[in-house]
Amino acid sequence: MELVAGCYEQVLFGFAVHRERKASGGHEKWTPVADFTHHAHTACLSAVAINSRFVVTGSKDETIHIYDMKKKVDHGALVHHNGTITCLKFHGNRHLISGAEDGLICVWDAKKWECLKSIKAHKGHVTFLSIHPSGKLALSVGTDKTLRTWNLVEGRSAFIKNIKQNAHIVEWSPKGEKYIVVILNKIDVYRLDTASVTGTITNEKRVSSVTFLSESVLAVGGDEEVVRFFDTDSLMCLCEFKAHENRVKDMFSFEIPEHHVIVTASSDGFIKMWKLKQDKEVPPFLLCEVNTNARLTCLGVWLDSATDPKESLPPAAEPSLVSKEEQSKSSTEESGDVVLEEERQSKPSMKKRGLTGVSKKPTKGSGLVSTKKKKMVDTLEKKRKRKKI
């Protein structure tokens, strides 16, 4: 097991968690030990996602970097987006979905690291996205005050809902029967079957991170030191506890035999692991903590050879995120509802969106670029800008 966290200081931290059962039969001792630091980005890290082999990080430098957790080496960079990478989500081990401030949502083949589809999803920034447990649907929110539902099997928009303000988080429940949309300190709870709000949870401060602990219990962290557990049916606060000395930036929860764990990361530099009680009205107790001495921004947990069983389906049963017909072309489409029938842009030629490395000029592309090559491209870009001045 490994804790992985990104920060403003452009570094990705990795801490291996050692578990040691005391001879007396007491509580198991958990100890995080520094394993690696990875400095691939040239700006602060903004998003992280993890599958059974790779950790991917997004940054304000507009790139997605891939780190091989088995070999502990840099695996290259994806340079398709033009804008800060705002969200990264794996579905199993086969697909990665990215969203950015350029308004694009990209579906990536996580084996060949090729862009299968690039969709113009929002008229403003894509602020967050979430994949349904089935892998057939995704939700996204953006700065165009819309909540959009995506048909991932066909790679197209399924539904657009106008919301009054810009939402910055959207998240499916573990079974996918409900989802939540966060606007500032308000959390709207939706039912999938009706697509309507069943209630609203109000947090004291702006919400920065949420994670479902069960189908009906939601952990909420924000611009304060406290983490709260809410019941999404009754909308009541079940419990709250002081997790950090500063704002909580990100959270992650997972289950392994004998343990249901929530991990929190804060601007105070600490990553903490907490063991959840079966009764969520009882605050969790601290398993371990580690101080990174950095301003943390994003968090993930690598669970060795297998991802959280709730996070992915078996490869044989896992549905394709893009149909075979769609996989044969990497296209950019204007977002549109099947009802609204918004205009779609014509598909760009392969010259404009070709694989980086095939084109003579270093351009944004849809394939994998080595870190060394990316740095060379950045240097050439800087020289070109100096000549223009």
Cβ neighbourhood burial of 257 (10 Å; 0-12, 13-18, 19+): exposed
Residue 80 DSSP label: -
pLDDT over 70 percentage in the chain: 77
Q: Which of 65-74, 138-147, 291-300, 359-368 has the lowest mean pLDDT?
A: 359-368
Q: In the predicted model, what is the mean pLDDT of residues 341-347?
A: 30
Distances (CA, A) of 271 to 128, 164, 165: 23, 35, 32
Closest to 187 (Cα-Cα) out of 214, 160, 212, 158: 212
pLDDT for position 27: 74
Retrieve residue 361's tokens.
């000029």
Position 232 confidence tier, pLDDT thresholds 50, 70, 90:
very high
The residue ranges of DSSP E strands in 283-344, in sequence order, are 285-291, 296-302, 332-334
Structure tokens that stand for 352 in this block: 């404009």
| Mean residue pLDDT across the chain | 83
Contact 45, 298 (CB under 8 A): yes
Q: Which residue has the higher pLDDT, 27 or 236?
A: 236
Q: Average pLDDT, stretch 225-232? A: 97
Q: Say if residue 349's pLDDT is above 60.
A: no
Q: Strand 332-334 to strand 114-120: parallel, antiparallel, or no bridges (unpaired)?
A: parallel
| Predicted confidence band of residue 257 (pLDDT cuts 50, 70, 90) | confident
Name residues whose C-beta falls within 8 Å of residue 94's C-beta, 6 or more positions apart in sequence: 109, 110, 111, 315, 318, 321
Is the pLDDT at 87 greater than 60? The verdict is yes
Please report, for residues 9, 264, 279, the alpha-carbon distance to residue 260 in angstroms, rounded to integers and kept in the order given. 31, 14, 12
- CA-CA distance, 204 to 220, in Å (whole number)? 10
Mean pLDDT to the nearest integer, 291-309: 82
For residue 190, count other CB atoms closer than 10 A to its CB: 22
Q: What is the pLDDT of residue 313?
A: 35
Give the pLDDT confidence score for residue 154 in this predicted structure.
85
pLDDT band at 376 (very low <50, low <70, confident <90, very high): low
For residues 273-289, give the mean pLDDT: 94
